[in-house]
Amino acid sequence: MAQRSGDWFAQAEHDLGHARAAASEVRFDWACFAAHQAAEKAVKALHLHHRQEAWGHVVARLLAQLPPVAAASPELIDAAKVLDAFYIPTRYPDSHPEGPPFSHYGRFQGEEAIRHAGAILEFVRAALAGD
């Protein structure tokens, strides 16, 4: 099987760039979702780097399932839990009691999501470089 961790991490960086661009266009719902996607793909890259399969979209669980040599801190797992809360409700109108998803997200959530995703990408970048 080909080693594709680099491809997954490159896409994670691209997705984080998309999150930043969406935030600059005041599309904070998409900034939050793209930040989640960036973190998910980065962590999956680290799993692949360690020859592990990783399934699902829960970034906190994906971080917790890393091998001991690449263990994530409890603080990073908590940051991932914030991102996980953006996976579905940023996109589906029936995820909120009323209003379209975009009306529930603002600069605060967008910047928080980008910050947390950036921390996860930095953790993964360092772990990939350390091996």
Please state, in angstroms and rounded to a whole number, the distance separating the CA atoms of residues 46 and 67: 10
Residue appearing with tokens 């896409």:
11
Number of domains in the chain: 1
pLDDT digits (tens, 9 = 90+) for 50-104: 999 999 999 999 999 999 999 999 999 999 999 999 999 999 999 999 999 999 9
pLDDT at 3: 85
Any idea what the CATH number is for the domain that residue 44 is in?
Answer: 1.20.120.330
pLDDT at 130: 86
Question: Sorting pLDDT into bands at 50, 70 and 90, what band is 1?
Answer: low
Range of the domain at 96: 5-130
Q: Give the residue from 30, 37, 40, 41 showing the smallest Cα distance to 104.
A: 30
